Amino acid sequence: MEVVIVADRQAAGELVGQAIADLLRRRPEAVLGLATGSTPLPVYADLARRCAAGEVTFAEARAFLLDEYVGLPADHPEAYRAFIARELEAHVDFPSGAVQGPDVRPTGADLLASCDDYEDAIRLAGGVDLQLLGIGTDGHIGFNEPGSSLASRTRLKTLTDQTRQDNARFFRSLDEVPRHVVTQGIGTILQARHLVLLAFGGEKAAAVARAVEGPVAAMVPASALQLHPHATVVVDEPAAGKFRQADYYRETFAHKPGWQGL
Ligand code: PGA
């Protein structure tokens, strides 16, 4: 795993935006895995800028969302499909239909079938080339809460109180935050060819340190990144505050060969 400590969110956005632009130049038909929440916004802002400047095109690319709330109207501004349309698609040149999220409208067995269909769609697209990830203060990735199987696939999950409270800032009240979600599983996420996890702010420091330097455990879903051959963790200074090996990560990145990329 590579850990990169950057000065601030904007520097993280530029670094990861550059990696995505490089990927799309190498492989214009790349499949991106998109995260939501506040964390990926600097990356999306950087990609919008690069697209406007003609430095990158998404014209042949495809993308899959990590997760989605269950029970919100499709046009609710916090529905993740609506979030991605607003924060990324509106500013870059994905063709229509190129970005897909799990269909969370069916209920019962049909919802379970829809989760399987989502797995099939990712597989049929050739798998995800680069998956963006945030991390919850409880260590979740996607909406795989602590205790999620490290082999899990796309399925229905129940949010922890901690996650609902963390996300209440996006809603009018805590009561409005859905309890249920559909999320790619940890096993699904681990099949992406490159994982890029971002974390900003001191409130993420404990979770990201446990994920990177603690034991691999279902109770810290993000620790599953340790099982992946190409995982990059990009953090700002406050989020790096609890690493034991921070100096080593800084030294490694400072002396990284220029040709290597992320
Ligand atoms: P945030 O959420 O980006 O809004 O902090 C991250 C997450 O819960 O995965």
pLDDT of residue 6: 98
Please identify every residue annotated as catalytic: 67, 138, 140, 145
Residues of the chain under the 50 pLDDT cut: none
Distance, in Å, from the CA atom of 132 to the CA atom of 193, rounded to the nearest integer, reads 11
Distance, in Å, from the CA atom of 121 to the CA atom of 170, rounded to the nearest integer, reads 29
3-class DSSP assignment, residue 17 = helix
Test site for ligand 1: of 9, 39, 133, 208, most ligand atoms within 8 A of the Cβ = 39
Q: Which atom of ligand 1 is nearest to the CA of 204?
A: 5
Beta partners for residue 37, in sequence order: none
pLDDT of residue 74: 85
Does the beta carbon of 252 sit less than 6 angstroms from any atom of ligand 1? no
Q: Looking at the whole model, is its pTM more than 0.85?
A: yes
pLDDT of residue 12: 98
Distance, in Å, from the CA atom of 256 to the CA atom of 117, rounded to the nearest integer, reads 41
Q: Which one, of 2, 87, 95, lies nearest residue 45 by Cα?
A: 87
Does the beta carbon of 160 sit less than 6 angstroms from any atom of ligand 1? no
3-class DSSP assignment, residue 170 = helix
pLDDT of residue 132: 98
Residue given tokens 């009561």 in the structure block: 175
3-class DSSP assignment, residue 28 = coil
- What are the structural domain ranges in the chain? 2-254
Does the beta carbon of 165 sit less than 6 angstroms from any atom of ligand 1? no
CATH topology (fold) of 2-254? Rossmann fold (3.40.50)
Output the CA–CA distances (angstroms, integers) from residue 172 to 4, 78, 136, in the order listed.
35, 11, 20
Does the beta carbon of 183 sit less than 6 angstroms from any atom of ligand 1? no
Does the beta carbon of 139 sit less than 6 angstroms from any atom of ligand 1? no
Distance, in Å, from the CA atom of 1 to the CA atom of 4, rounded to the nearest integer, reads 10
Residue 26 has φ and ψ, to the nearest 5°, of -70, -35
Q: How far is the CA of 167 from the centre of ligand 1 (A)?
A: 8
